[in-house]
Amino acid sequence: MNFSDFIANNDMIKNLDNLGYKNPTPIQEKTIPSILKKQDVLAKAKTGSGKTAAFGLPLILELDVKKRYETSAIILAPTRELADQVAKELRRLAAFVENTKILTLCGGTPMRGQIQSMKHGVHIVVGTPGRVLALLKKEALNLEYIKTLVLDEADRMLDMGFFEDIEQIINFTPKKRQTLLFSATFDDKILEFSKSIQNDRVEVEIEEETSSIKERFFKFSDEGLEIAVQHFKPETCIIFCNTKIKCKEIEARLQDKNYDALSIHSDLEQIDRDETLLEFTHKSCTFLIATDVAARGLDIPSVDLVINYDLPKGQEVYTHRIGRTGRMDKEGLAISFVRGYEEYIDVQLEDINSLHVDSPRSYKAKMITLCIEGGKRDKIRAGDILGALIKEIRLDGKHIGKITINRKDSYVSINSEFAQETFEKLKKSKIKGRTLRVWMLS
């Protein structure tokens, strides 16, 4: 199928082409036509399936830019990270519509700024239930014009205890509205929830493409983690643990061995979580050690290897975890360590010592990420940073990695051999005619 089979707007088709979205993903193919017909949809889709564009595309197509004081859509997501990613994707999809205002409303950011932003009008709100409800109670947010309510990762929101907050939020929206519910799992809880808030829903379930993920199970052994890593030699790897204490322990253990490993868990301040994730996506850290809560909703573009250092409690969490590898048609690998008391599970157990390790590779970070105090707000573009690095500092372009420009700051990864020298020089050189503060991450 092509996007043009169900989207008539040529500008959107062109935009999708620019984004590199050649064809709709299965979830998009099955949900977009119903969503465009204003039907309520209950869809089973996991992160990486293209679900954000599945609900985002119709929202953008239906948007009336003139009505910025009549917020027409709200998307509720379980975590700030997911809300940020949803907003980012919506902005990409709306790139051809001028003056679209998409606002994220999440905890961890002062309310004052959010209230101020809303005064200028907003078309689409993306937020976490707690903060959205708090703003509704303060009468800072008005949902009386909502046409579409989206609940993203609904299963996760219920697991996190957001049910009552969501119910209260729904009471602020019109009875006549479209409700879209996306969930990675369908269980009785979700079906009940759907019944209570949706009308004549269309149910969409995509067959799991498990074939693109190879799963292997090993008997737990103390050195098993290192053996696995040295045998499979991933470029990007997520290691899941069940507790944050274990995350920190594994992080310290790998760092002691000079492996570039960082952990992400709920003890970290939001800013540290963002930086850790940035280092991971910028490849200045190969191993991300995470708890389920911290990892949920992170948009990490497919990792080579998922390791369940601890087996998760339940099949659903397991499915979520291994879904981090083998996304968008890439073959992935997920391995799990099984302790003696867990050996009742019905899998074929292998001995980790049977894995062959030849010439262990170094896992010292190949890239180091620099942070520059200046971003979109200061009209800085990737070209300005490249210009400073290549023309002023005379760094060879091949030593420069990914560049990310945020609102207030920017990140660039540099080959670690040249990072210190580049850092010293960049501190003294000018970007867009100004000397900006620069930090080296980690």
- Binding-site ranges for ligand AMP (CB under 6 A): 21, 24-25, 28, 47-53, 89, 299, 328
Q: Which of 342, 337, 288, 346 is nearest to 310 (CA)?
A: 337
Rounded Cα–Cα distance for residues 396 and 49 (Å): 37
Q: Which is nearer to ligand AMP, 57 or 197 (CB)?
A: 57
Q: Give the C-alpha distances (Å, rounded to integers) separating 393 from 383, 390, 397.
A: 14, 6, 11
Taking the complex as a whole, the smallest distance from the CB of residue 360 to ligand AMP amounts, in Å, to 33
Q: Give the C-alpha distances (Å, rounded to integers) separating 223 from 10, 100, 260.
A: 56, 53, 18
Find where tokens 């989207």 sit: 7
Q: Which is nearer to ligand AMP, 153 or 275 (CB)?
A: 153
Find where tokens 């253990």 sit: 253
Q: Which is nearer to ligand AMP, 21 or 218 (CB)?
A: 21
Taking the complex as a whole, the smallest distance from the CB of residue 299 to ligand AMP amounts, in Å, to 5
Taking the complex as a whole, the smallest distance from the CB of residue 78 to ligand AMP amounts, in Å, to 14
Q: Which is nearer to ligand AMP, 25 or 72 (CB)?
A: 25
Q: Give the C-alpha distances (Å, rounded to integers) separating 437 from 372, 390, 411, 413, 431.
A: 6, 18, 12, 16, 10
Taking the complex as a whole, the smallest distance from the CB of residue 352 to ligand AMP amounts, in Å, to 32
Taking the complex as a whole, the smallest distance from the CB of residue 108 to ligand AMP amounts, in Å, to 21
Backbone angles phi, psi at 20, to 5 degrees: 85, 15
Taking the complex as a whole, the smallest distance from the CB of residue 50 to ligand AMP amounts, in Å, to 3
Under a CB-based contact definition with an 8 Å cutoff, are residues 46 and 319 in contact? Answer: yes
Q: How far is CA 394 from the centre of its chain?
A: 34
Three-state DSSP class for residue 25: coil
Q: Which is nearer to ligand AMP, 208 or 396 (CB)?
A: 208
Q: Which is nearer to ligand AMP, 28 or 79 (CB)?
A: 28
